Amino acid sequence: MSGQRRIEEKALKQSMVGAFLLAVWGIVMALISESGAVLLDGMYNLISAIMTFFSIEITRLIFGKGTREYPLGYFAFESMFVFVKGASILILVLMALYSNVKVLLSGGREPALGLMTVYVALAVIGCMILYAVTRKSSRKTGSDILDAEAKAWFVNMVVTAAIGVAFVITMLIQGTSIGWVVRYVDQVLVILMTILFIKDPLTLMRGGLKELLLAAPQEAFAERFVKKIMPLKEQLGAKQLSLEILKTGRRVWVTVFMDPAEDTLHVDEFMAIKTRLRDIVRGVHPNTQTEVILERSQPGSIWVPQPP
């Protein structure tokens, strides 16, 4: 097992175990306190644990070799997983929104604020630890799965902390003239949480779907390759250069279209150019496949780099 794969799999297993423990803790405390906010947090962690279990299997596929059925490897599975994870979170959030709007309209309910605050304190600490672990491993491996995992833990940490602050404020006003609002706090919190949560799964779904449809990556990502390759036009002996950049999971596909300045180009010269470009591209992103295509620009036309 390679070092990169070992780091990624270890981080995913830690995230899975942590998410499962937080899910059990949250669901038990939600049943005791009858809190929709705590239940939503617990169910979110349960889905995270289930999805992380599947992501471990996907990373094993990704690090394997291509087959006759999948000659380019299994990199698209990573994009598909990111999309499915986003869709799962979105469904959970919408279900929580629906059920808590019904409770709010029926008059709300009194929450067990003391128990809910205890839950939040331990949950925030757990989220902080798991975010730090996955973020560190994501930076080492460049894994989209770990990056999505780290973002999910960060959102979870912030939202859970916000719930805790709201509970403390609610306990302070419980015995005052506006104490009547306490029975509505839990439902209002869930509705606010869904507003905060909903952007994250939509972002995951959009990113995963774009990669599955072979859309161009973000301009800032592609620009890193453009800045390294385009200034080398004269050194490579080219009249014009053009780039085509695609990203699927953690694999980047870079195609360099080159119009040679000379009428002939020896095979050894071409292979030297290809090797140089491959090394440059891997310096920008280690997991890449680079192709060089010789192509004449049309007479009288201006050949510019293709927009990313």
pLDDT of residue 213: 85
Domain-located, residue 259:
yes
CA distance 17 to 67: 32
pLDDT band at 302 (very low <50, low <70, confident <90, very high): very low
Query: Do 234 and 182 sit in the same domain of this protein?
Result: no
- Residue 299, pLDDT > 70, answer no
pLDDT at 305 over 70: no
> Average pLDDT in the 273-293 region?
89
CA distances from 29 to 18, 47, 147, 210 (A): 16, 17, 29, 39
At a CB cut-off of 8 Å and minimum separation 6, what does 183 contact? 107, 108, 109, 110, 111
Helix (H) or strand (E) holding 246: strand 238-248
Residues 6+ apart with CB under 8 A from 66: 72, 73, 74
For residue 4, pLDDT over 60 is answered with yes
Mean pLDDT of the chain: 81
> Within the chain, what is the greatest distance between any pair of CA atoms?
88
Residue 20, pLDDT score: 92
Residue 53 lies in a domain: yes
Which of 188, 212, 236 marks a domain boundary?
Answer: 212
The answer, yes or no, to whether residue 185 has pLDDT greater than 80, is: no
How far is residue 172's CA from residue 246's CA, in Å, rounded to a whole number?
Answer: 54
Q: DSSP of 87-146, one letter per residue?
A: HHHHHHHHHHHHHHHHHHHTT-----HHHHHHHHHHHHHHHHHHHHHHHHHHHHH--HHH
CA distance 120 to 238: 61
Name the H helices within 174-231: 182-197, 199-212, 219-229
Question: What is the average pLDDT across 252-281?
Answer: 88
Q: What does the pLDDT average to over 26-51?
A: 81
The answer to whether residues 248 and 182 belong to one domain is no
Q: Tell me the mean pLDDT in the region 6-30.
A: 87
| 22 assigned to some structural domain | yes
Please tell me whether residue 175 adopts helix, strand or coil conformation: coil
Tell me which of 183, 212, 241 is where a domain ends: 212
pLDDT of 33 reads: 76
Spatial distance between the Cα atoms of 26 and 19, rounded to a whole number of angstroms: 10
pLDDT at 80 over 70: yes
Number of separate domains in the chain: 2
Question: How many C-beta atoms surround the C-beta of residue 5 within 10 A?
Answer: 16
Looking at residue 66, its pLDDT comes to: 65
Distance CA 232, CA 243 (A): 13
In a domain, 300, yes or no: no
- Which residue has better confidence, 14 or 164? 14
Give the domain CATH number at 232: 3.30.70.1350
Residue 9 counted as domain residue: yes
- Listed ranges 95-109, 181-195, 217-231; the one with the highest mean pLDDT: 217-231
Highest mean pLDDT among 28-32, 158-162, 193-197 belongs to 28-32
Residue 264 has pLDDT above 60, yes or no: yes
pLDDT at 178 over 60: yes
* Residues spanned by the domain of 143: 3-212
Q: What is the pLDDT of residue 112?
A: 67
Average pLDDT over residues 66-89: 80
Regarding whether 158 and 130 lie in a shared domain, the answer is: yes
For helices 144-173 and 3-33, the axis angle rounded to 10 degrees is 20
Tell me what pLDDT residue 300 has. 40
pLDDT band at 304 (very low <50, low <70, confident <90, very high): very low
Q: With a threshold of 0.75, does the pTM exceed it? A: no
Class of residue 306 by CB neighbours under 10 A (exposed 0-12, middle 13-18, buried 19+): middle
Q: Which residues of 110-141 are buried (b: 16+ CB within 10 A; e: fewer)?
A: ebbbebbbebbeebbebbbebbebbbebbeeb
308 pLDDT exceeds 60?
no
Boundary-marking domain end, from 149, 184, 212: 212
What does each C-alpha distance from 192 to 77, 100, 163, 186, 189 come to in angstroms? 33, 11, 10, 10, 5
Identify whether residues 281 and 256 lie together within a single domain: yes
